[in-house]
Structure 1
Amino acid sequence: MTTDATAEEINFDGIVGPTHNYAGLSVGNLASARNANTIARPRDAALQGLAKMQRLRALGLAQGVLPPHERPNIAWLRSLGFSGSDGQVWEKAWKSEPTIGRAALASSAMWAANAATISPSADCADGRLHASVANLQTMLHRILEAEQTERTLRRLMPDEARFAVHPALMPHSVLSDEGAANHMRMAANPGATGVEIFVYGRTAAEIRTGFPARQTLEACHALARRHELDPARTIFARQASEAIDAGAFHNDVVGVAHEHVLFHHQDAFADKAALYAQVRSAVKDFAPVFIEVPRARVGLDDAVTSYLFNSQLLRLPGARALTLIAPTEVRENNKTAAFVAEMIAQPNAAIGQVEYVEVRESMRNGGGPACLRLRIVMTARERAAAAQGFFLDDALAGRLGAWIKTHYREELAPADLADPALVAETQTALDELTRILPLGGDFYPFQRG
């Protein structure tokens, strides 16, 4: 068992892209379906995300950023036989193949919790930090993300002596992988050897009705082997079918963990008692705390609509108890607001503070504060070896804010999505972003065209 006192958990948030829109593409995501074909506000969405990042920095936490993906995905459309200028390719695809066009336009990579599964170096036998890109093979619009996500993570963590960035598993239903949204870690502190919990919805041989179960046990096993995790400290827990069919398309809609605390809904797991027992058996250096929200207090419907569990759970510098970074929708829901108020008021509460953040544009598409970030535990040496330009400070935040205000449309209505000018607008914006973040002039496919 190892401990590095310099280690800290850093949240790397995805910057909401210029084509943020409500297409309702994600089966099983109730918010996505409910708001399909309504007017989106890309500028507000990106600024809300940036404001959340800055709020965490103001609370004393390290924060990073990840770039949006190129959308529309013109290179993919060309591979499908569309030709002409980039604008013409987009116009033809949108008119003749609307399903393909909508997938090519999706800005879903903003939800960085789906980017990859991360295992800190303290957990991995070779002493390196391991990151496996998610294949996201369940949804067409998301399967397009893996190639750029891998490129981004390799830019962020280039030192192969300290980081192992793995490509996505082969995209197939047997190996369906949704990244950190179905992965939790518990540890005495960020730098201590942890217990990694992989949450799956089905095995490869199963056929289920209802909403898709997006994570397979086989994919979880593959990730654990890749990352060289200790089997004695690796747990595979099944998500409850009831949760999936209620709209908890990822585990992070019904459960979140940080350090010694697991905060979850009563109906999150198929066998809660077995999970508790496995965690208690695996840990020797801390006493795990399980905070269960009873269905009698908060039903799955309220948990899903408010995204109570899609909150960030973290420890502020010097704080005794953990803090919950929750969307304002939790405060606006009487049941979830009452439970949170009661929870943090308990003597010696494990979660003793709540901070509410406004990410309404993301919430309307089915992603709360936790969806927007990829958690990466880094030691001081690992942070020094990472590309420094991805770490947020006031200067970078100012440049990103000005960039968003310059290049993002205030509104995108469904009728606006066909506009071929949208292609040039987004390419101009992303080209400029490669000079703000350390991406290089050939990062996006259109720059290499």
Structure 2
Amino acid sequence: MTSAVEANCDGLVGPTHSYVGLSPGNLASQKNAGEVSNPRGAALEGLGKMRKLADWGVPQFALPPHERPNLSLLKALGFSGSDGTVLERAWKEAPALASAACSASPMWAANAATVTPSADAADGRVHFTPANLLTNLHRSLEGPQTTRSLRRLFADESRFAVHDPLPAQPHFADEGAANHVRLCAEHGAPGVNMFVWGREAWEHWDGRYPARQTREAFEAVERRHGAARAIFPRQGKAAINGGAFHNDVVCVGTRECLFFHESAFEDRNAMIASVRRAADGLFEPAFVEISEADLPMADLVASYLFNSQLLVIPGEDRLVLLAPAETRDNPRAHAVAESLAASNGPIGRVDYVDVRQSMRNGGGPACLRLRVVLTEGELAAANPAQRFDAALHDRLADWVERRYRDRLVPGDLADPLRLTEVREALDELTVILDLGSDFYPFQRGA
């Protein structure tokens, strides 16, 4: 077995972080639409979470925000003139389209891609398939730039394979690692890859909210990556209709432990049997299930208990659950969380982190990071300028303090001066993270 660690690649919150309610099925996003946001506070919260984990000894990388507004979308839809004119016209004539073009949604890096570590891949490389995210317009814009971003961070093609997104077609709707769980004995050991899907491509879906992930998309990812020991459990329909738009709202797993709500899977018994078969001879899975009686769906979605990070922390015998402050503030969720350590099971400690700005758009600690299992050689081969430590934290925090606004309402995004603000900020960021002078579309004259 090769020694390996699970690194977190966290999305930096972008300067246009706002609440415009773009995601049907994401109850927090809908509830807070139109409210005042704090991009500076949001970015500093994310950096604080990264610093906390880095101080614990968890490898961290920073993923840059995408260029927003996305003027290429608006120009493709017929808005013409200077960049400032395009933005002003779009907000005046089609504010819903303008809102989508300004969304800072790439901050939720759990949707950036699906990852297969080298221990599970047929060719011994780490494989990435960036998600096409085509269910929502604002997220469907992300794939090309996410691909570029991952290829800058993991540039060594002898060690990494960053594929293009799947075809942008409803049959292959792909939401990335938010619906993928990997279980194993140790991070460097062979594992079981759970690809959790919401609907089949040819299925008639009549649920209250969209089922965003198709089985066919994940089957394609499994073939591309040569992902070993793949299983395909179905996400619970009741969970989707209750506001769990991704599986990571109702389930999280690390190493041998699968921590999930009873509504997470359409057939929990079949899921458990599939995991046991795939893990046979490798490790003994540990299932930690929370009942609806202990945590009703309304409290689950409000608290985001399962949208926590389940972590291996150096020096600790059992796993650590890093939950949002909302879990601590919800009495039923807090009672469940605190009972985990007392049970003497695989989870030994619960800690809490404040990412309220992200949570108000429906993204907890787990949404803000992409998990990537890396050997020592693979870790060393990643872009060192994006490796997060105290020095990078301080440099990025200073950048945020200087470049981000602390108050933003959706109407502010119509101001052409925002274009200059954002582009100057991102231009500086490419130097900080050594991304090159052609990383963003505006730098390439696109």
- Shorter-chain TM band: over 0.9
Q: Which amino acid aligns with 2:222?
A: A
> Which residue number in structure 2 is paired with residue 303 of structure 1?
300
The Cα of 1:122 is off from its aligned counterpart by 0.2
How far apart, CA to CA, are the structure 1 residues paired with 2:123 and 2:411? 52
The answer as to whether partners of 2:17 and 2:38 remain within 8 angstroms in 1 is yes
36, 40, 46: which is aligned to 2:37?
Answer: 40
How far apart, CA to CA, are the structure 2 residues paired with 1:75 and 1:442? 16
Is 1:205 matched up with 2:213?
Answer: no
The Cα of 1:390 is off from its aligned counterpart by 1.2
Deviations 1:253-312 (A, max 9, x none): 000000000000011000111111111111122111000001000011111111000000
120, 123, 126: which is aligned to 1:123?
Answer: 120
The Cα of 1:415 is off from its aligned counterpart by 2.7
The Cα of 1:33 is off from its aligned counterpart by 0.2
Is 1:263 matched up with 2:259?
Answer: yes
Cα RMSD, aligned residues only = 0.8
Q: Which amino acid aligns with 1:397?
A: H
Is 1:320 matched up with 2:317?
Answer: yes
Is 1:29 matched up with 2:26?
Answer: yes
Matches within 5 A, 1:157-306: 157-209=154-206, 210-230=208-228, 233-283=229-279, 284-306=281-303
What's the secondary structure of 2:253's corresponding residue? strand
* Structure 1 residue ranges, 4+ long, deviating more than 4 angstroms after superposition: none
How far apart, CA to CA, are the structure 2 residues paired with 1:76 and 1:33? 23
The Cα of 1:112 is off from its aligned counterpart by 0.1
How far apart, CA to CA, are the structure 1 residues paired with 2:56 and 2:147? 30
The Cα of 1:434 is off from its aligned counterpart by 0.6
Matches within 5 A, 1:126-137: 126-137=123-134
What's the secondary structure of 1:125's corresponding residue? coil
Deviations 1:358-386 (A, max 9, x none): 00000000000000000001101111221
Q: Which amino acid aligns with 2:369?
A: R
The answer as to whether partners of 2:54 and 2:60 remain within 8 angstroms in 1 is yes
The answer as to whether partners of 1:248 and 1:304 remain within 8 angstroms in 2 is yes
Q: Which amino acid aligns with 2:347?
A: I
What's the secondary structure of 2:259's corresponding residue? strand
> Which residue number in structure 1 is paired with residue 57 of structure 2?
60
How far apart, CA to CA, are the structure 2 residues paired with 1:447 and 1:82? 21
The Cα of 1:345 is off from its aligned counterpart by 1.2
How far apart, CA to CA, are the structure 2 residues paired with 1:280 and 1:294? 21
> Which residue number in structure 2 is paired with residue 397 of structure 1?
393
Number of aligned residue pairs: give it: 443
Matches within 5 A, 1:328-407: 328-346=325-343, 348-407=344-403
Deviations 1:394-440 (A, max 9, x none): 11111100000001001001332221111111011001101101211
The answer as to whether partners of 1:8 and 1:191 remain within 8 angstroms in 2 is yes
The answer as to whether partners of 2:190 and 2:282 remain within 8 angstroms in 1 is no
The answer as to whether partners of 2:12 and 2:65 remain within 8 angstroms in 1 is yes
Unaligned 5+ runs, structure 2:
none
What's the secondary structure of 1:138's corresponding residue? coil
How far apart, CA to CA, are the structure 1 residues paired with 2:364 and 2:168? 26
What's the secondary structure of 2:84's corresponding residue? helix
The answer as to whether partners of 2:125 and 2:160 remain within 8 angstroms in 1 is yes
The answer as to whether partners of 1:26 and 1:32 remain within 8 angstroms in 2 is yes
The Cα of 1:75 is off from its aligned counterpart by 2.3
> Which residue number in structure 2 is paired with residue 143 of structure 1?
140
How far apart, CA to CA, are the structure 1 residues paired with 2:104 and 2:255? 31
The sequence identity of aligned pairs, in percent, is 56
How far apart, CA to CA, are the structure 2 residues paired with 1:429 and 1:229? 39
The answer as to whether partners of 2:184 and 2:254 remain within 8 angstroms in 1 is yes
Deviations 1:66-124 (A, max 9, x none): 00000001222222232222222111111111111011000000000000000000001
How far apart, CA to CA, are the structure 2 residues paired with 1:103 and 1:391? 30
What's the secondary structure of 2:212's corresponding residue? coil
The answer as to whether partners of 1:39 and 1:411 remain within 8 angstroms in 2 is yes
The answer as to whether partners of 2:340 and 2:349 remain within 8 angstroms in 1 is no
How far apart, CA to CA, are the structure 2 residues paired with 1:414 and 1:134? 26
> Which residue number in structure 2 is paired with residue 49 of structure 1?
46
> Which residue number in structure 2 is paired with residue 95 of structure 1?
92
How far apart, CA to CA, are the structure 2 residues paired with 1:397 and 1:271? 43
What's the secondary structure of 1:48's corresponding residue? helix
How far apart, CA to CA, are the structure 2 residues paired with 1:61 and 1:371? 17
The Cα of 1:129 is off from its aligned counterpart by 0.4
How far apart, CA to CA, are the structure 2 residues paired with 1:381 and 1:60? 17
How far apart, CA to CA, are the structure 2 residues paired with 1:343 and 1:311? 13
Q: Which amino acid aligns with 2:109?
A: A
Q: Which amino acid aligns with 1:224?
A: E
The Cα of 1:152 is off from its aligned counterpart by 0.2
The answer as to whether partners of 1:87 and 1:424 remain within 8 angstroms in 2 is no
The Cα of 1:186 is off from its aligned counterpart by 0.1
The answer as to whether partners of 1:24 and 1:35 remain within 8 angstroms in 2 is yes
How far apart, CA to CA, are the structure 1 residues paired with 2:99 and 2:335? 39
Unaligned 5+ runs, structure 1:
none
Q: Which amino acid aligns with 2:317?
A: R
